């Protein structure tokens, strides 16, 4: 990734942040054409809230306990 690409990415991020700030402030977002083209290319959808079942939580908890036990065992062997 070259310097010009990094600068371009930063400019896009700044434009998006300015647009978000304007929307939060209640003003209409006046974005440059370049930023508007980028934002229209990427339309993020609403992320679904991910719910864990009680069984899933239990599996994760057991896996974490096993991992901790392995780390504790490895630390004791040093």
pLDDT mean by block of 10 residues, the chain; 78 residues: 88 93 76 53 73 94 96 86
What are the sequence ranges of the domains in the chain?
3-42+52-77
Q: Can you give the pLDDT at residue 33?
A: 55
* Burial class, 60, CB count within 10 angstroms (exposed 0-12 / middle 13-18 / buried 19+): exposed
pLDDT at 78: 67
pLDDT at 61: 97
Handedness of CA 18, 19, 22, 24 (dihedral sign): negative
Tally of CA atoms within 13 A in the half-sphere of 69 that contains its CB: 6
What is the rounded distance in angstroms from the CA atom of residue 47 to the CA atom of residue 50? Answer: 9
pLDDT given at position 72: 92
């Amino acid at each position: 990734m070259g310097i010009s690409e990094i600068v371009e990415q930063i400019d896009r991020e700044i434009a998006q942040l300015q647009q978000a700030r304007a929307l939060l402030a209640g003003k209409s977002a006046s974005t440059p054409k370049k930023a508007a083209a980028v934002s229209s290319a990427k339309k993020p959808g609403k992320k679904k809230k991910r719910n864990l079942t009680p069984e899933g939580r239990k599996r994760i908890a057991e896996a974490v306990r096993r991992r901790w036990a392995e780390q504790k065992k490895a630390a004791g062997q040093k």
